Amino acid sequence: MLSRYIKVILIRTTFARDGPFDLEGMERASEAHAGYSFDVRRMLRGIDGLEFTMLGAGPCTHCSGRPCPEDGCRSPPDRMFSIEAYGIDLTSFLVSNGIDRRGGDREQSYFSMVFYNPLEHRRSISPRTSDV
């Protein structure tokens, strides 16, 4: 599914924490990152004609922690799949691009990715039937 895109943007948020066992700080950081990711996606959806797929960190949190119903997602257009769910080895991606994932005992980083086609690329491969 992602092979149809020619560009990717990596979004990284890094947060301070009170040491390696600060689970509450990590949870707050995870929620903040998810919020930023949903904000970015909302902005991207406002760009007319932009083709993109956004992947987040960990499970989808669109429904604010409510469990998914047994019959499927209650809001499929708004769900955000994780990077790993698409088979991307994030650690290998970061290493191959010279990005240090570790922030030490006092930092926590989360990542999202936006796969997209620039607007000029979309126009060149699928022209509109009428530009008048």
Q: Could you tell me the two tokens for 108?
A: 């926590």
The pLDDT, as a whole number, for residue 117 is 92
Global pTM reads: 0.80
Write out pLDDT tens, residues 45-99: 999 989 999 999 887 777 776 777 788 788 878 888 899 999 999 999 999 999 8
Q: What is the separation of C-alpha 121 from the centre of its chain, rounded to a whole number of angstroms?
A: 22
Helix (H) or strand (E) holding 14: strand 7-16
Kindly list the domain boundaries of the chain, sorted by start residue. 2-65+76-125
Average pLDDT over residues 98-123: 81
Which of 4-13, 64-73, 121-130 shows the lowest per-residue confidence on average (mean pLDDT)? 121-130
3-class state of residue 55 by DSSP = strand
Higher pLDDT, 41 or 119: 41
CA proximity to 57, closest of 14, 115, 110:
110
> Rounded distance, CA 68 to CA 59, Å?
11
